[in-house]
Structure 1
């Protein structure tokens, strides 16, 4: 599936507020869907790029020899899920999904985002 279709699929996840495909080398969103007045996805893409870069530096410093699957940021009213794409999709990309905590099932959201990743072609 292409980027637009992938983002549409991500937005069908229960509780989805916004979704983006982001290149963490540049911090730029390759595509966005949803968001709005209370969630600027361009700002979220840039900010979450810093989160991913920091975690990757930390893992390198710890010499863990492992890969990040996803990063979860839990807010009072939202979940922010960052799913790094495996190297077959491009080593510097992640899917970002913001969820309304009151309407989302976190386990199902992670499962569905993994499915979207597996079908995405970039």
Structure 2
């Protein structure tokens, strides 16, 4: 995969260690990754970056992942971008709230780096942003 065809992933995660782990893992997998600290930053950067995938932590300051997801899905410039909600909670109600906010996928933390890479690649392939 050449640099100019690397799929772009925008990640919003307020916990620095987790944010850096996600960034390292996805960059190692050959993806172009932009990291943000909260939902407000993600909502501001998404229309400019035009990422192939957005990953949002649920519990963040300023704007939750659910709020950011709804805002991104309401914006004509970002509504078609697949969104993954990241949460330490895997209860059915949390997953349902993520889907109702417009999320396309839900990943429960903690996750193994290999599992994260596999899921992200599957999502990008399904969106046509990554070749087999």
Using structure 2 for the length normalisation, give the TM-score. 0.30
More strand by share: 1
The structure where helix makes up a greater share of residues is 2
The structure whose RCO (Cα within 8 Å, separation 6+) is larger is: 1
